[in-house]
Amino acid sequence: QVQPVESGGGLVQAGGSLRLSCTASERRFSVFSTGWFRQSPGKEREFVAGISGRGGSEYYGDSVKGRFTISRDNAKNTVYLQMNSLKSEDTAVYFCAADASWNIATMTAPRVWRYWGQGTQVTVSS
């Protein structure tokens, strides 16, 4: 069992930056693959970025490539999502997900991620 907890959401102006954090009390979280998803009202949950358990591999959704960076500090049991050049369309609830597996072919699908956080709201004003 792993329980991710997100933090760092808030209100930011378009063009600004924000950093989200995802942590868990369980030590095994540091070897789990971790992903970020987002969901806005009326839309499906969208894959944003993923990082392998030891941080050697990263993968990004097309809509955030070049603007967002995922990273992890296993000493702090924390995964970060640095979001730069934010746009109004980035407004959503951002969720952290964790799973023992790492598969680029399927990782964009929410159903393959076993553990989920409660989400943190990011609002980008134009």
pLDDT in tens, 15-34: 999 999 999 999 999 999 99
Query: Does the pLDDT of residue 108 top 90, yes or no?
Result: yes
pLDDT of residue 48: 98
Query: Quick one: average pLDDT of 61-65?
Result: 97
Query: Quick one: average pLDDT of 80-100?
Result: 97
Segments in 1-126 forming alpha helices (H):
none
Contacts with 38 (C-beta within 8 Å, 6 or more apart), sequence order: 45, 46, 48, 90, 92, 93, 94, 95, 122
